[in-house]
Structure formats: C-alpha cells, structure tokens
Structure 1
C-alpha cells in the first residue's frame, strides 16, 4: 500500500523523495514550456550529497528499437552503471496513459531501500502556464537497484 511508504522507509529516503519530486516537476515544467517536449531526464543524488541532472542522447538506432522508450531505457542503463556512487534518483519522462485525455509526467523515484512511481496529469494551455492535476502514486519497480 502506497499510503504507508513513509512507514517503511528511512528519514533520508523520505526527504530525498520529497525533494526529488519537487525538482523533477520543476525541471519538467521548464523543459516542456521551453521546448514543448520532454526527453527523459534523471536527477541523481550522489552518496556524497552532490546532485546532477543527466539525460540520454538520441541515436539513429532508436527508430529501430523494439522498446517504446529507447531513450528512457538508455538513460536507466546509464544510471544503473553509476549505482554504487548514488543514494537516490528520479527518472522523469512524459507518458501517455491509455484512455487519458491529458499527458502525464511519470516520475520514478528510487532509493536503495524503496521505489515509488508518481503519475501527474498536466495541461499547458500556453507556454507560461503549467497546470498540474492530482498525483497518483504506486509502489514502483526498482530499476537502478534491482
């Protein structure tokens, strides 16, 4: 049950998730308003307390990939390769949910001890307006520390 994820995690994990969610939404809003698109990005919290934002570079082979999200897959692979030096991550992407009328931000939050998936519908009637709908959370599948 997602409602008790805070009871199952450390104070460090909770603080990281709260912060990563805010940062992930801010970066997504900025990139969507500037580019009208969002390639997947990752926000990495290093073990030593540093923070970085990384993305995968699109390649010609992406159009031949069997994956629906080759950029996201490559990004996750790159983050996984750095897992030993990381404390927590957020992987932020734009997703389309079947039957939904609005696009969603998917924010995959992962700490060494827990994974959480957040879906946030949004609307951008113009470049200056980024309206968020109600968030939905579910226990996530670990991608980095699987």
Structure 2
C-alpha cells in the first residue's frame, strides 16, 4: 500500500503547501540562475492566503554570513508570525553528500500539522546552466508549530 503526505491533509492545506513550495522553488531557481548559491530565505502565507517573505537584515550577519545563523533567525521569525500564518517555508541551498550533488531544500509547515522536507537536486553544467532533478518529499518534525 502506498502512502502519500497528502493522505489526511485538507484540500486547503495541500493548496497552501503547493503554492508556497512553488514560490520558494521559483525564487531559488532565479537566484541560482544569477549566482552559484543563495542565502537561506523564508516565506509564509498570512491568514488571508497572501504570500509574504520574512524580512532579514543580512547586514547583521556580517560580511560572510553563516547559513546556520540565518536559518536560526528565519525560524525564530517564522515562529513569531505563526500566530497569524497558515503556512511557512524555509528555503536553503544544501549539499547532498551521498548523491554528490547540490539541492534546494525546502522545509514546509502548515498550521494544520503537516511538516515536510522537500529536496530538488541540481547540477550546474560547465556552461553555467543548471539541470534540476526530481522533487523528493519527506515527512518531518515540525519546528514552527512543533
């Protein structure tokens, strides 16, 4: 029997998660078109379904920001907006050591309780073009509404 993360998740929550995942991946892809990597960033949907980004003062992290510090700051800000948010996404550039490739990593959460880790592997060709692999989704522990 095949189980999906969508089993038992409301249609509204699925729509919120799909929408914020698409938005996060679109921003990350655009960043990768311009640069070899990107800083972590966070998005959330408000109570009315509006898609918003979490404001982070990158200057506060110094000249060479540490990704862990940026992620911790983004998670803290997502927890603060969780009172009025429906859905959150934390998007990170990561390395998949076993697969020897990079990936866009998206931590998704919905206030209804769904928490997912989504990976989109990619490889940059010598021409600079980025080839993307297949999305992989995993159920994970919630951090924002945990």
Q: Which runs of 4+ in 1 moved over 4 A?
A: none
Instruction: Work out the number of aligned pairs and report it.
Output: 142
Deviation at 1:42, TM superposition (A): 1.2
CA contact (8 A) 1:40 1:94 kept: yes
Gaps of 5+ in 1: none
Counterparts of 1:92 and 1:137 in 2: how far apart (Å)? 14
Secondary structure at the aligned position of 1:6 is classed as coil
Aligned to 2:70: 71
Aligned to 2:131: 131
Secondary structure at the aligned position of 1:104 is classed as strand
Counterparts of 1:30 and 1:55 in 2: how far apart (Å)? 19
Aligned to 2:116: 116
TM-score (normalizing by structure 2): 0.85
Q: CA RMSD in A?
A: 2.4
Aligned to 2:82: 83
In structure 2, the CA distance between the partners of 1:79 and 1:95, relative to structure 1 (3 Å rule), is same
Aligned to 2:97: 98
Gaps of 5+ in 2: none
